[in-house]
């Protein structure tokens, strides 16, 4: 499950009813992130994701990588980017704040992306530094939902709908080692996506360390 979906679910129960009646709404960090994710996916009927990619990576070749973009940068882009006029006409100030929180949060995590095809992973491995926050994105290219499991990462099973993606948030351990996950119900068995925790790997620099601290405090 995408962590944000998890947040969305949790938030429904976590926000006391009392808060809902207060104005302006006092949204906790989790609720704010969940709202930001919703707006990112849906604003103006297109969402930021249509151009910037589902995980704000700029992988679609339309809008650039915006993980970690500040609220100021987002406001400036909304004001000045002709392609974004549809968003400009629809988005509210509260939605911009929520999206900024969400995009900042994404900026604290390195993306590791793999494509799952009949149980095979493309690419099949990645090296990441110890102590790094990772958002592991798995694209299910199949026509059936598949469930992914790890026996050594300490994460929940993730079921991904056909032709879509899901993500797992994971903190690499402080010690070097090998971790992996696999598809439980795919045709090919014994295929792994391997995460090498390796101090020789390229360093990931979180774009917004301040936001990172806030996000971690609230988790």
The binding site for ligand HEC (CB under 6 A) comprises: 43, 46, 48, 50-52, 62-64, 66, 69, 73-74, 77, 81, 83-84, 87, 91, 99
The least distance separating ligand HEC from the CB of residue 77, rounded to whole angstroms, comes to: 3
Residue number, 39 or 181, with CB nearest to ligand HEC: 39
Listed in order, strand segments (DSSP E) in 150-204 are 158-160, 164-171, 177-183, 193-197
Q: Measured between alpha carbons, how far is residue 133 from residues 110, 150, 187 in Å?
A: 6, 17, 31
Q: Measured between alpha carbons, how far is residue 28 from residues 46, 120, 133, 211 in Å?
A: 26, 40, 22, 14
- Radius of gyration from C-alpha coordinates of the chain: 18
The least distance separating ligand HEC from the CB of residue 85, rounded to whole angstroms, comes to: 8
- Cα–Cα distance measured from residue 191 to residue 188, given in angstroms and rounded to the nearest whole number: 7
Q: CB neighbours of 55 closer than 8 A, spacing ≥ 6?
A: 67, 106, 111, 135, 137, 167
Residue number, 51 or 116, with CB nearest to ligand HEC: 51
Residue number, 99 or 197, with CB nearest to ligand HEC: 99
The least distance separating ligand HEC from the CB of residue 39, rounded to whole angstroms, comes to: 7
Residue number, 20 or 76, with CB nearest to ligand HEC: 76
The least distance separating ligand HEC from the CB of residue 44, rounded to whole angstroms, comes to: 7
Residue number, 69 or 206, with CB nearest to ligand HEC: 69
The least distance separating ligand HEC from the CB of residue 129, rounded to whole angstroms, comes to: 25
């Amino acid at each position: 499950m995408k962590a944000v979906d998890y947040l969305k679910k949790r938030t429904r129960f976590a926000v006391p009813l009392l808060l809902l009646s207060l104005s302006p709404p006092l949204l906790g960090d989790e609720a704010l992130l969940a709202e930001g994710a919703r707006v990112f996916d849906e604003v103006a009927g297109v969402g930021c994701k249509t151009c910037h990619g589902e995980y704000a990576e700029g992988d679609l070749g339309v809008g650039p990588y915006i993980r970690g973009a500040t609220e100021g940068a987002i406001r400036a882009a909304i004001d000045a980017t002709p392609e974004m006029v549809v968003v400009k006409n629809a988005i509210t100030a509260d939605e911009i704040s929520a999206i900024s929180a969400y995009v900042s949060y994404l900026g604290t995590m390195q993306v590791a992306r793999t494509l799952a095809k009949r149980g095979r992973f493309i690419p099949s491995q990645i090296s990441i530094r110890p102590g790094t926050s990772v958002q592991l994105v798995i694209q299910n290219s199949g026509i059936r939902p598949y469930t992914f499991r790890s026996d050594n990462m300490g994460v929940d099973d993730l079921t991904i709908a056909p032709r879509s993606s899901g993500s797992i948030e994971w903190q690499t351990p402080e010690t070097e080692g090998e971790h992996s996950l696999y598809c439980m119900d795919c045709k090919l068995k014994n295929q792994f996506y391997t995460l090498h925790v390796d101090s020789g790997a390229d360093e990931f620099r979180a774009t917004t360390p301040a936001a990172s601290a806030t996000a971690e405090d609230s988790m």
